[in-house]
């Protein structure tokens, strides 16, 4: 009986040794490193697509605002009951201003400021960094075919908008 108990005790002990299962520190660190690499790659793709989306949406809003200013110029929209000969958009680095009249004046009645999203910049080759549309026809005043591009950028993502002398807006 004693030998049977010793034999059973030895089986239980060897069974317990086999049941001690787990991961070594090296295995855990390796798995955590792989997860870290996957998360880093995923976040790069995520933020890149967010930037592309932000630039695309901002470009669409700017194009809509350019068309709105052109429509106001063509229809002779008034400001505070006073007829206006032309409408334009002044392009700044991190914002733009829709303004009535032949020249941009900061703080003037009728100006509407649009801020770009944080981190986004705008550059242009337009003269005086503004687009001015004429009353009736909506043509671009003082059009220059070598200076007709607006570029929006954030990170490595960018979009361009081009205008022709008739005020037709394209965004390739």
Condensed to tens digits (0 to 9), the pLDDT of residues 15-60 reads 555 555 678 888 889 999 998 888 887 777 666 677 777 888 889 9
Question: Among residues of the chain, what percentage have pLDDT more than 70?
Answer: 85
pLDDT by residue (tens digit) across 105-119?
Answer: 888 888 999 999 888
State the pLDDT at residue 12.
Answer: 61
String of b and e for 128-159 (b: at least 16 CB within 10 Å)? ebbbbbbbeebbbbebeeeebebebbbeebbb
State the pLDDT at residue 132.
Answer: 92
Higher pLDDT, 2 or 30: 30
State the pLDDT at residue 11.
Answer: 59
């Amino acid at each position: 009986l004693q030998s049977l108990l010793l034999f059973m005790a030895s089986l239980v002990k060897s069974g317990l040794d086999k049941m001690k299962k787990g991961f070594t520190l090296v295995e855990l660190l390796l798995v955590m490193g792989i997860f870290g690499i996957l998360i880093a790659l995923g976040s790069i793709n995520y933020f890149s697509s967010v930037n592309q989306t932000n630039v695309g949406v901002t470009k669409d809003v700017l194009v809509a605002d350019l068309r709105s200013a052109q429509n106001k110029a063509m229809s002779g929209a008034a400001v505070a009951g006073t007829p206006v000969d032309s409408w334009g958009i002044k392009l700044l680095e991190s914002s733009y201003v829709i303004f009535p009249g032949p020249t941009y004046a900061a703080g003037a009645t009728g100006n509407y400021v649009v801020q770009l999203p944080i981190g986004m910049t705008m550059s242009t080759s337009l003269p005086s960094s503004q687009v001015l549309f004429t009353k009736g026809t909506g043509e671009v005043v003082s059009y220059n075919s070598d200076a007709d591009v607006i570029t929006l950028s954030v990170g490595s993502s960018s979009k361009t908008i081009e205008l022709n002398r008739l005020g037709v807006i394209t965004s390739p």
